[in-house]
A and B are shown apart, each in its own frame.
Chain A
Amino acid sequence: MEQVRPQHLTYFGGMDSATSGRVVIDKKDISKFKTKELTKYRREDIGFVFQFYNLVPNLTALENVELATQICKKPLSPKTILEKVGLKDRMKNFPSQLSGGEQQRVAIARAIAKNPKLLLCDEPTGALDYKTGKQILQLLQDTCRKEKMTVIIITHNSALTPMADRVIHFKNGTAFNIQRNENPTPIAEIEW
């Protein structure tokens, strides 16, 4: 789990191309990608978790997950994922019927279900209360560990840094400090 600044998120996420420099992900320079290649990259390699969940209000939890899985090559079973994120009983609910934490779980489920190489999370706890935030972070960490998935969390909350394996500090758009946590703190111990 790593933490980066938002504009870099757009580069990593293939949402935008960098004007200069290189963005190499999985040995591929995505900054050279055409729109279509970028889309393909987003589609197959990236899972994205938004601060405001960005669920499709017109689809149920399960359908929101399926929305993502239907477009990639080897998706995970949406139901299994939703069960894993603890929403077994809420699968048929619409986002408006879910709490913020539940919605973010659905969003994470949606991102994970794509079986991406990279899970990008933009302030995943930003809109959540402390407790729910912790649960979400736990979920992310669990995913990272269990699914062997690279998870990048973008946050302003430096209190979260101890939980990351690697922390990249940004200031004014530039990474100025990269540190490795040999022993990341368990989430339960982190306070903010």
Chain B
Amino acid sequence: MKTALLKDGVREIKYSYKRFISILLIVLLGVGFFAGLRSASPDMKHTLDVYFDDLNVMDVEVLSTLGLTDDDITAIQNVEGVSKVEGTFQTDATVSFDEEQVVVKLENIPDNINKLELVEGRMPENENECIVEPAFLTGTGHSIGDTISIEVEDIKNDEGENKKVLKQTKVQIVGTAKSPLYISNERGSTKLGSGKINYYMYVPKENINVNMYTNIYITVAGAKELNTTDNKYKDTVEVVTNNLENISEERQEARYNELYETANNKIKDAEEELNDQKEKAEKELKDAEKELEDGKEELEKGKKELDENRSKANNSFAEAERQIEEAEEELNNQEKNFETSKKKANNQIGEYKEQLSTLKQTQTQLNNVEQNLKIAQNTKQQLEKSLETASEEEKEKIQAQLSQINTQIQKLQITINVIETELQKQGVTNISSTIKQIEEGISEAEEQLSNGEKQINEAKKQLEDSKKELNNKKNSTYYELNQAEQKIKDSEKKIKDGEKELDDARKEFDEEIEEAENKLLDAKEELKKIERPEWYVLDRESNVGYASYVQDTDRVASLADVFPIVFFLVAALISLTSMSRMVEEQRVEIGTLKALGYNKEQIARKYLVYASVATVLGGITGLFIGFNFLPKIVADMYAMVYDVPKVILQFNFDIALLGMAAAIISTVGATLYTCIKELIHNPATLMRPKSPKAGKRVILEKITIIWKHLGFTSKVTARNLFRYKKRFMMTIIGVCGCTSLIIAGFGLRDAIANMIPNQFGEIDKYNVSISLKEEKSGDDLAKVKENISKNEEITNTIGANVQSVKIIKDDNNQSIQLIVPEDTSKLSDFIELRNRKKPEEKYSLDDTGVIISEKLSQLLNIKEGDEIELENSDGDRRNVKVSKITENYIMHYIYMSPQLYNTVFDDKIESNMIYAITTDLTESQEDNLGERLLQDTDNISGVSFTSASEDMFTTVMENMDMVVWILIIAAGLLALVVLYNLLNANISERIRELATIKVLGFYDKEVYSYIGRETIILTIIGILVGLIGGNVLTMYVLKTCELDITMFDPNIEILSYVWGILITVFFAIIVNIITYFSLKKIDMIESLKSVE
């Protein structure tokens, strides 16, 4: 370039520095944002790569469903491409303290691969020590030096025996360390505790008591040198992954055989034992049977004997009875005879006694008479004696008495004689001997009588005795017999019991045997089922932290594809307007140069260089700022979620090149276009001032009603707006871009913010999903539900069958959950099915078709009424109709009524999941409830709270605020640059006009509104377009950021639009304030200057 021209160029820049700065600024913004956002992703990936390289993170990991052995390690070591191999043991454990319990992922400290990054303290040195992640200390309140006790469930070794996992369960924390395997805050899920792993911790290998590995870490030769997210890396690793998969078959088989052998041997042993026991038991049973038979036989014998004895006894008793009867009869006869003779004898005795009594009377009479005689004689003697002595008188009396007595004596003697005569008559000579004789006769007869009686009595007694004897005998005999009978009965009963017992025993035996056999069969079945161990060969992508980190950075990169486009477009328009203004302003100069003989290229060069210099300066500054700050901001944002070292900033040459190229194409391209357009004119035309752009009537004037009412400033504004189309476009695009970016920022935030309350509040109304150990229905399910509902936090429950299904459609590998509720009418209490666009339109399940979630319908292009081919978890494929499409934001779901499922899959469905609604709970209350629920280990296998997912998204939300800020700043800068450029163009182009109206006596305010109104109207139009543009941009950004399993809520809140407007207006106001003061500074002398 000629020096004069160069000087001219430099002066030009000096002279029109505002224009220069405009171009420079917009390029700076575009390139800065492009490069910054773009490089965030590679920078973050690079940081991760360096971090992973430092800690020698595995490239591939092998897991097996049945554990891995040293043989596996050796085999893997020999695989081509494998650099290092290390086996490790991982398990979930609980650590309790202060009545609280946390679940940790416990792993042994690896030697070489996935090394730990020591944060504080030191690494454990013996089996009594452990190291935890830093969050463990802050989360549990422990500090280094504390001893914690770890509970690990015993594991079954190959032989099926329980084995302790750790040698020492009380270990001391000696430090904190980070593991590269957990860069996100996702620690995974577990069957323990509340179902969520809280922390990870490491113990030395020496503390592990198991000679098996759960994971084998592998590094791939040559992979470390590559960037972990590059395709080259992926290719390199994939080769090894494939190699590993190739040997996996063989290793799985080997492990299978090993396990099969062990199990099979065990079964064989069990079988043998069973047979032995069977034999033994059978023999025992047979013995018992025989014994029983013998007993029966004996019993029969006994019975017979008894019968015999009884009849014998009966006979003999009958005989005896007969004898007794006979004797009785005889006795009776004898008695009768005796009675007769007795009567006779008694009669005789009576006679005798009569005689005797007569005799005795006589005797007594006699005795009395004799007595009286004696007395009389005595008296006579006495009297006679007395007579001798007696006086005469008395003699007379005695004589009288004597005579009396003598008569008496005579009389008595006569009586005696009479009696004696009488006696003699009767043959009695001696009365006394006769009496004696009679008395003897009586006593003899009486004796005889009593003898007879005695005899009879004796006989009677004898008879009685023999009767008694017989009875006794009978009694005793029958007693004995009865006894014997009883005995027989007893033994009969015993035998019956024995038989029953035997039956029972046999039944029991049969049952036991069957059970044992079943067990054996089961074991055999199990044996068949010993899953062929399955190897999972996983690369880094399978690490949740790594994968989401990479995905998230990619998302930033895709944002970088959208936003800077606006900037570059505006850059092009700004260049176009400023350069064309510049070229137009310098027509005369151009004409002169042309007339002087400079050719087009040389003349154009000035402007191209001008634009290039602005672009390159702006671009380089932009690159500098972009590369240095944006990745840092983005990385800091992600640092809230990801635990990775500080981002390593790098100069990404390709991005720089691309950004610069885009900028240069926009600005220099626009300049070139302007130059070409102007330079085709001949020098003469160029040297004449370009006829000012003709004032034109605008469409608005045709609507006279409006036009009439417009002030002049408005008219000028209106005409100006239509006059400068480029400027119009530039401003509108710029402002629209500003508004759009802000709306997009807020919209993105809204989308994510709404997704959570929408999904977890309005759609999924349940708070807990409880997975059941076994499928249940009816009363069983009701019982489990009842048990769950006993926890007072739980207010409502519903059972459902949840299974992974597939929709058979080309290229579809979406994982879909089929939910079949036990009761369709109650589903809406737990899961709301509705139209997203019209939330009041609720759907309910019926038997005509299934309801699918919206994102699924979008991904697979399914409409209401379409038929889909569904494959259930059993692998059955059936066609079903899609009746409705329901609002859903996270994951894919298909809802189906149980009746429909039964008809379609011809299978009765049972629930394997219970959804429950709880009262409002804090996190610790949830943990507590989770623990309680999990105590029902018979029924419940897992508990997960929706709040966990909520938390995750809340963190994402916080990050979104940063994105919104970045976008606001970008948008603001864009608006500022564009509006400032518009202002600058307006002022410099219309300085004469402005000076004139000032001279005419316009107040500053009026001058401002003369110009400002244009800015305001353009801003308003820009904002209006921006509202639409914001919507479109938001949708695009949402689609870009959206994962396959998530759907953002595409409803942008009104408030976001309001923010978009307000923030844009804010920037517009700033520019307008600048405008006001710039206008104030305009010198009226300008109006006097000649037209160039």
Interface, chain A (partner B; CB < 8 A): 6, 9-10, 13, 15-16, 35-36, 39-44, 46, 48, 50-52, 54, 56-60, 63, 66-68, 70-72, 94-97, 110, 114, 122
A-facing mask of B374-418, CB < 8 A → 1, else 0?
A: 000000000000000000000000000000000000000000000
Q: Quick one: CB contact mask for B701-727 with A, threshold 8 Å, 1 for yes? A: 000000000011001100110010000
Q: A50-B1087, A96-B692 are in contact. Are A71 and B1006 (CB under 8 A)?
A: yes
* Closest 3 pairs (CB-CB, A-B): A43-B1001, A94-B695, A42-B1001
B692, B993, B999: most-surrounded residue (chain A CB, <10 A): B999
User: Distance in Å from the Cβ of A107 to the closest Cβ of chain B?
Assistant: 9
**Are B691 and A96 in contact, CB atoms less than 8 angstroms apart?**
yes
Q: Which residues of A contact B693 (CB under 8 A)?
A: 57, 96
Interface check B596, CB cutoff 8 A: no
Contact check, A50 vs B1084: say whether CB atoms are below 8 A apart.
Answer: no
Complex A-B: 22 CB contacts under 8 Å: A9-B1088, A16-B1084, A16-B1085, A42-B1001, A43-B1001, A48-B1000, A50-B1087, A52-B1091, A54-B995, A54-B999, A56-B716, A56-B997, A57-B693, A58-B716, A58-B720, A59-B715, A63-B715, A67-B1000, A71-B1000, A72-B1001, A96-B693, A96-B695
Give, as a whole number of angstroms, the nearest-CB distance from B693 to chain A: 7
> Whole-angstrom distance between the alpha carbons of A156 and B581 in the complex?
33
Interface centre among B720, B996, B1006 (most CB of A within 10 A): B996
Query: Is B1002 in contact with A54, judged by CB distance below 8 angstroms?
Result: no
B692 touches A59 (CB 8 A): no
Apart from the given pairs A48-B1000, A57-B695, A71-B1001, 15 other A-B contacts in the complex at a CB distance below 8 Å: A6-B1088, A15-B1084, A39-B1002, A40-B1001, A42-B999, A50-B1087, A51-B1088, A52-B1091, A58-B715, A59-B695, A68-B1000, A70-B712, A94-B694, A110-B1000, A122-B1088
Asked if B605 is an interface residue, CB under 8 A from chain A, the answer is no
> Closest CB of chain A to B735's CB: distance in Å?
22
CA distance A44 to B1001 in the complex (A): 8
The residue in chain A whose Cβ has the minimal distance to the Cβ of B712 is A67
CA distance A71 to B696 in the complex (A): 24
**A35 CA to B692 CA, complexed, in Å:** 31
Instruction: Decide: A15 and B1085 in contact? CB cutoff 8 A.
Output: yes
In whole angstroms, what is the CA distance A153 to B652 when docked?
Answer: 67
Complex alpha-carbon distance, A52 and B692, angstroms: 13
A59 to B1010, alpha carbons, bound, how many Å?
13
Contacts of B1088 in A (CB 8 A): 6, 9-10, 50-51, 122
Cα-based distance from A9 to B1084 in the complex (angstroms): 12
B989-1034: which have CB < 8 Å to A? 992-993, 995-1004, 1006
With both beta carbons as reference points, the residue of chain B lying nearest to A6 in the complex is identified as B1088
**Residue of B692, B992, B1001, B1006 contacting most chain A CB atoms (<10 Å):** B1001
Contacts of B720 in A (CB 8 A): 58
The verdict on B919 contacting chain A, using a C-beta distance below 8 Å, is: no
| A36 and B1003 contact, CB distance less than 8 A | yes
Question: For the complex, what is the distance from the CA of A56 to the CA of B712, rounded to whole Å?
Answer: 11
Q: Is B1090 an interface residue (CB 8 A)?
A: yes
B residues near A71, Cβ cutoff 8 Å: 1000-1002, 1006
User: How far is it, in angstroms, between the C-alpha of A15 and the C-alpha of B1088 when the chains are bound?
Assistant: 11
Residues of B within 8 A of A10 (CB): 1084-1085, 1088
Q: Per a CB cutoff under 8 Å, which of A51, A70, A72, A114 touches B1090? A: A51
**Main SS of the interface on chain B?**
helix
| B999 cross-chain contacts in A, Cβ below 8 A | 13, 15, 42, 48, 50, 54
Inter-chain contact B695/A54, CB cutoff 8 Å: no
In this complex, the interface size class of chain B, counting residues with CB under 8 Å from chain A, is 20 to 34
| CB-CB nearest in chain B for A52 | B1091
Interface string of B918-931 (1 = CB under 8 A from A): 00000000000000
Contacts of A95 in B (CB 8 A): 692, 695
Nearest-neighbor residue (CB-CB) of B1090 within chain A:
A52
CA distance A67 to B719 in the complex (A): 14
Neighbouring A residues of B715 by C-beta, 8 Å: 58-59, 63
Q: What residues on B are CB-neighbors of A72 within 8 Å?
A: 1001
Cα A43 to Cα B245 in complex, Å, equals 91
Task: Tell whether, in the assembled complex, residue A57 and residue B692 are in contact, meaning their CB atoms are under 8 Å apart.
Answer: yes
Taking the closest CB of chain B, its distance from the CB of A26, in whole angstroms, is: 15
A51 contacts across to B, CB distance below 8 A: 1088, 1090
Residues in chain A near residue B1006, CB distance under 8 A: 71
Q: Is the CB of B996 within 8 A of A50?
A: yes
| A59–B695 alpha-carbon span in the complex (Å) | 7
**B783-821 near A? 1/0 per residue, CB < 8 Å:** 000000000000000000000000000000000000000
- Give Cα A128 to B1001, complex, Å: 26
Per-residue A-contact encoding for B219-232, CB less than 8 Å = 1, 0 else: 00000000000000
Q: Which residue of A44, A63, A96 is within 8 Å of B694 (Cβ)?
A: A96
For B691, the closest partner residue in chain A by CB is A96
**Of A16, A35, A39, A60, which one neighbours B695 at CB under 8 angstroms?**
A60
Closest-CB distance, B79 to chain A (whole angstroms) = 80
Q: Is there contact, CB below 8 Å, between A59 and B694?
A: no
Chain B residues near A70 (CB, 8 Å)?
Answer: 711-712
Q: In the assembled complex, which residues on chain B have CB atoms less than 8 Å from the CB atom of A9?
A: 1088
Q: Which residues of B contact A63 (CB under 8 A)?
A: 712, 715
Q: Residue on B with the closest CB to A40?
A: B1001
Q: Which residues of B contact A54 (CB under 8 A)?
A: 992-993, 995-996, 999, 1087
Q: How far is the CA of A41 from the CA of B719 in the complex (A)?
A: 30
| A40–B1006 alpha-carbon span in the complex (Å) | 12
- Measured CA separation A72–B999 after assembly (Å): 13
Q: Within the complex, which residue of B695, B996, B1091 is in contact with A58, where a contact is CB–CB below 8 Å?
A: B695
Please report the C-alpha to C-alpha distance between residue A100 and residue B995 in the assembled complex, in whole angstroms: 20
| Inter-chain contacts of B1004 with A (CB < 8 A) | 35, 39
B694 contacts which chain A residues (CB < 8 A)?
57, 94, 96-97
- CA–CA, A163 to B343, complex, Å? 219
Which of A15, A60, A67 is within 8 Å of B997, CB to CB? A67
- A114 — which chain B residues lie within 8 A by C-beta? 1000-1001
Contacts of A16 in B (CB 8 A): 1084-1085
Residues on A with C-beta less than 8 A from B1085 are 10, 15-16
Closest residue of A by beta carbon distance from B996: A54
Cα distance, A122 to B1002, chains bound together (Å): 19
Cβ of B692: which chain A residues have Cβ within 8 Å of it? 57, 95-96
Name the interface residues of B1045-1092: CB closer than 8 Å to any CB of A.
1084-1085, 1087-1088, 1090-1091
Q: How far is the CB of A99 from chain B (nearest CB, A)?
A: 13
Report yes or no: A66 in contact with B1000, Cβ–Cβ below 8 A. Answer: no
Give the CA-CA distance A9 to B1088 in the complex, in Å. 10
CB <8 Å contact, B712 and A66: yes
Q: How far, in whole Å, are A122 and B996 apart by their CA atoms in the complex?
A: 13
Beta-carbon nearest neighbor of A47 in chain B? B1000
Q: Which residues from A are CB-within-8-Å of B716? A: 56, 58-59
Q: Nearest CB to that of A44 among chain B residues?
A: B1001
> Which residues of B sit under 8 angstroms from A50, Cβ to Cβ?
996, 999, 1087-1088
Q: Which residues of the partner chain A approach B996 to less than 8 Å between Cβ atoms?
A: 50, 54, 56
Most buried by B among A9, A15, A40, A58: A58
Q: In the complex, which residues 497-545 of chain B have their Cβ closer than 8 Å to any Cβ of chain A?
A: none
